[in-house]
Amino acid sequence: MTPRKQIAKTIKDYNHFLLTSHINPDGDAIGSMLGLGHLLNRMGKTFTFYNQSGLPERFSWLNLPAKMHTRIPLQEYEWAIILDCGDGDRLGENLGTFLDTDKSINIDHHYGNPEFGRYNWVEPHRSSVGEMIALLAQDLGMELNGDMAKSLYLAMVTDTGSFSYSNTGAETFSIASEIIKGGLDLDSFNSHLYQQWSLNKVHLHGLAMKHANLYCQDRVGLIKIPAELMQQTGTNPEDCEGVVNYVRSIKGVKVAISLREDSENKIKMSLRSWGEVDVNAIAHSLGGGGHHNAAGGTFYMSMQEAEGLVLEKIEQHLDSGPEDRNWAQVT
Ligand code: 5GP
Ligand code: MN
């Protein structure tokens, strides 16, 4: 039996689940978790949500089918379902040791997922885990509508950069099409997702953009957000979401980097690329990970040191890989 079928069967056969996703959850982590929660509700199952970082403010407009615990909940469960987590370290404090891997289901789309569960449904070509939960819902005979569909749409639209990245497949569009047929109000959805900014956030992005720079013969764009900039504009790390895309849009840029200073000597890195450049490999060599065109990681050093290190790695990668030859085909 394929893992996908095995997971559908397990969901039918059991009643109590623990649902979790990676720390600092993005739209896919939250959307797939909420979507699966709504799916379980429809089947009359019980479940508990856990995410160490909680629900980010920018997703607070979604209907939660259960309370989001930020401490490992003590409720009994028969199966833990871990979503969008390609790396055990990203589960959050102690969860890796707390989980009984024999009672764990791992649903993910990251290359190199260590397949830590009893059942591991890992498909790196999928746009998002939300897409995979939508397929699961269809396997279980459900229509893609209501709050379940809204959550899954969030997962797909955020992990594909509004259906623009190369991870957007034909099936991503057909699921989106089913969700629209199921009655999703796009106008309201998009205003919730995209019309959330504060003026302070606009100022933060403006100031960060002003100091963006190019390196490595203009093939690499870098944008930095020192803690001071967040203090100055009255913003927080969540407000920095998406800044990396500004340098990714510059003509000729193959790799875009953002470095955000979360606290002293803790720098969050985001990497983005177009086409052949494998930023997952670069992030991996720096202790992080992700996808071919979108990856990240954390440095425990100063901003200046992190900048030097990431630029050095990227230069090595660009000068050794086949990207230069392939680049002409993908622009
Ligand atoms: P972002 O730059 O938006 O934080 O992350 C982009 C992608 O990289 C995410 O989908 C996530 O899978 C991955 N990613 C980000 N940070 C880390 C990290 O510290 N470790 C690993 N393994 N992956 C990360
Ligand atoms: Mn994802």
Residue 16 and residue 34 in one domain: yes
User: What is the residue with the minimal CA distance to atom 12 of ligand 1?
Assistant: 290
Give the ligand with the smallest distance to the CA of 33.
2
How far does the centroid of ligand 2 lie from the alpha carbon of residue 84, in Å? 5
Residue 257 sits in a domain of what CATH number?
3.10.310.30
Residues pairing with 290 in the sheet? 295
How far does the centroid of ligand 1 lie from the alpha carbon of residue 225, in Å? 17
Residue 85 and residue 132 in one domain: yes
Residue 124 and residue 240 in one domain: no
The Cα–Cα gap between 276 and 318 comes to 11
Give the ligand with the smallest distance to the CA of 53.
1
How far does the centroid of ligand 2 lie from the alpha carbon of residue 217, in Å? 31
SS3 296: strand
User: What is the residue with the minimal CA distance to atom 23 of ligand 1?
Assistant: 289
Do 244 and 251 meet the contact criterion of CB atoms below 8 Å apart?
A: no
Q: Which domain holds residue 189?
A: 3-194
Residue 29 and residue 142 in one domain: yes
pLDDT at position 301, please?
98
pLDDT at position 331, please?
24
Residue 190 and residue 243 in one domain: no
The Cα–Cα gap between 305 and 308 comes to 5
Q: What DSSP line would sit under 180-202, residue for residue?
A: HHTT--HHHHHHHHHS---HHHH
Residue 259 and residue 152 in one domain: no
Residue 177 and residue 140 in one domain: yes
pLDDT at position 321, please?
64
Give the ligand with the smallest distance to the CA of 111.
1
Q: Which residue, 194, 221, 254, sits at the end of a domain?
A: 194
Residue 179 and residue 93 in one domain: yes
Residue 86 alpha carbon, nearest atom of ligand 1? 22
270 CB within 6 A, ligand 1: yes
Please give the structure tokens belonging to residue 164.
């623009």
Residue 244 alpha carbon, nearest atom of ligand 1? 2
How far does the centroid of ligand 2 lie from the alpha carbon of residue 137, in Å? 18
Residue 110 alpha carbon, nearest atom of ligand 1? 12
Residue 117 and residue 213 in one domain: no
Q: Which residue, 144, 171, 194, sits at the end of a domain?
A: 194
241 CB within 6 A, ligand 1: no
Give the ligand with the smallest distance to the CA of 285.
1
Residue 190 and residue 208 in one domain: no
Using most ligand atoms within 8 A of CB, pick from 291, 292, 298, 300 the residue to mutate for ligand 1: 291
pLDDT at position 161, please?
92
Give the ligand with the smallest distance to the CA of 109.
2
Residue 177 and residue 233 in one domain: no
298 CB within 6 A, ligand 1: yes
What are the φ and ψ backbone dihedral angles of 315, each rounded to 5 degrees? -60, -45
Q: Which residue, 194, 218, 245, sits at the end of a domain?
A: 194
Residue 133 and residue 240 in one domain: no
pLDDT digits (tens, 9 = 90+) for 279-323: 999 999 999 999 999 999 999 999 999 999 999 999 999 988 654
By DSSP bridging, strand 79-83 and strand 104-108 are parallel
Share of the chain above pLDDT 90, in %: 85
**Which residue pairs from 87-96 have beta carbons closer than 8 angstroms and sit at least 24 positions apart in sequence?**
87/22, 87/113, 87/114, 87/289, 88/114, 88/116, 90/22, 90/23, 91/20, 91/22, 91/23, 91/52, 92/20, 92/22, 92/23, 92/51, 92/52, 92/53, 93/52, 95/20, 95/50, 95/52
User: What is the residue with the minimal CA distance to atom 16 of ligand 1?
Assistant: 296
The Cα–Cα gap between 242 and 225 comes to 12
- How many helices and strands in the chain, by DSSP H and E? 13, 12
Residue 47 sits in a domain of what CATH number?
3.90.1640.10
Residue 26 alpha carbon, nearest atom of ligand 1? 3
Q: What's the total number of domains in the chain?
A: 2
The ranges of the chain with pLDDT < 50 are 323-331
pLDDT at position 139, please?
98
* Single pTM value for the model: 0.91
Cα dist. 308→170, 175, 259, 321 in Å?
A: 40, 42, 11, 20
User: What is the residue with the minimal CA distance to atom 22 of ligand 1?
Assistant: 289
User: What is the residue with the minimal CA distance to atom 18 of ligand 1?
Assistant: 297
The Cα–Cα gap between 243 and 237 comes to 11
